[in-house]
Structure 1
Amino acid sequence: MLGHELRNPLNVITMALDVLQQEPSESARARAIIAQQATHLKHLVDDLLEVGRVVAGKIRLDLQTVDLGELARDHVASLRSAGKFLLHAVTCETHPALVQADPQRLRQILDNLIGNALKFTPTDGTITVRVDASDDIVALEVIDSGIGMSPELLRNAFDLFVQGHRDAHRAEGGLGLGLTLVRQLVELHHGSVEAFSQGEHQGSRLLVHLPRYTASPVARPAAKLARTKVPPQRIVVVEDNKDGREMLRKLLELSGHEVEEAADGPSGVERILQFAPRIALIDIGLPGFDGHEVARRVRARQSSERPPILVALTGYGLEADRAATFAAGFDHHLTKPVGLKDLAKVFHAHANDLGSR
């Protein structure tokens, strides 16, 4: 199943690249398909890694007082504005419902429940998201008019790699990890989750119960500040993968930045010290010596007036990996794949310091 699901998007990407080479006039459509399939591939890998982290006890919850009703309403609105509901009628019915929970993980639970409903509900079907609270329980429901579940599937719906029957003409993919992840995240919050269905083609209802929190009013997140455009910067890219280094440099130069590059640890330190960039994007796995050592040597020899902003680029994203990068002197830790939005968040976090070159 894993090989099948990973090969499908890779196959589409490969064919789209062949189309680009053979017929440049089709470039816009081919690029859109490559972007879509790359995103799908990233989600598959992320789900695999996330399940592994939960099973291994590597997840740490950032518990906050959250109004689940408000969070669900905002999340549904963001999905709607992103065009996720164009083929379905989606409604959201919520009431105030306080819980002690990790907001990021609540959104992850919602994403998986709604994504599961969208996947298995035919076009023009209905999906309802509900949040309500009783004396000591908060209930989150996602109800759909989709293909439903057999009694056998209901018994195993939250088990690892379990999927419902897919007719030959149906194109939905996936590894059967979404509901497994939902159950594990809900149980980390001391809650429970159940699946209900009257049978195949009778729709489904997924019900999450979480302990209600009543001790204090909801803690609202700080208002988001309007982002200002970051002027062109001097940037060094230290990356041993030639193609990755070339694409990252091209991406930055298209945004107006002045970029220098290096392919290993020693030359990376040299380029950063000589070029004096405002930002250095440094891969961790480098020949010569790794990115951690690059950061340590740069910090030891940098100018105290205007030290560069060091950003780690790595395929490792556990808490221990992040702790290691920050201990070495990095300001940010980005887990690959890294796109323009990820870089923009880093740049805007230092907007006041990047006002000039």
Structure 2
Amino acid sequence: MATTDFKDYYSVLGVARSASGDDIKQAFRRLARKYHPDMNPGDKVAEGRFKEVSEAYEVLSDTDKRRKYDQFGKYWKQMGQPSGGGTGWPGGAGMGFEDAEFGRFNTFEEFVNDLLGRFNTPGSGSPGGNSGYSSYRPPSGSSGFGFNDFANGTTGSSKGRSPQSLDREANLTLTLSEAFHGVEKRLSITGETIDVRIPAGVTPGKKVRLRGKGQSNPYATQQRGDLYLVIDLQDHSFFTLDEDNLICEVPLAPDEAVLGTQLEVPTPDGLVKVNVPAGVRSGQSLRLRGKGWPTKNGRGDQMVRLVITPPKSLTPTEQDYYEKLRDSRSYDPRSTLQGITL
């Protein structure tokens, strides 16, 4: 691979080399949302940028990988020059421990694959079209996928682990329905196909642990770390999740808000009749107890936010009645504003 193939991951994310972890995370989130295939269907340029952004984040978000990447820039300039080991990697007399790690790879491709911990996701030939296979973020729309080292290997430790953690993380994107009901996903990790059961009621940021599915120890092939699937949820057209509660908005006509009415509101369990009292305000919420997100102790609540929505067009009869109401109205909604000064 030519030196021109080198990617400056800091430039890809638009951050300085001294950027903090939070700066890198914020830059990635902004760019990932901008270039995500779901936001740019059929746009190959955006898809390519999304891959670059994801690859950059995979490296720079991890302390150990970022350190290796910063050090590797020095070695990249020497690629292709003769070395003491005859492999094309920098080496020779005086080679230290870090240099010796590079020496166990035959090619640059092997080094990058190890650095990023690549594995493939079958059925991801197009955004969202995973044919029953897992949908990951970052889902690149191609077969390539990388995942991050689990931070410092402080979770899921096991006996005999090497100083460098073998645990890995990957973001698994679910629909709200999949997360609510639970789902089985089929994953392909470096050619190994496994089935994983995602329990009902998982929430964003929840980690599902797959024991023994992390990276293999290159010095002890029988030893493998764990893979942690970090849950992310797709947006839903009606529901949003707030801790254990489901939030939704239901429009009301002005006369319904004044006189009160009965509504049929969608819930995860089907339509439920809700009585709206007379005189509700726009933005006021009604609580449906036990209709929210699954928890260990049952279900959260569903909050129905009422939004008074005036009609965009009126028939002549409606226009006439609204004008009569205006002319005969005794209530002044702005009476409390009189006399207010600063």
The TM-score normalised by the length of structure 2 is: 0.22
Larger Rg: 2
Query: Whose strand proportion is higher, 1 or 2?
Result: 2
Q: Point out which structure has higher relative CO (alpha carbons under 8 A, 6+ apart).
A: 1
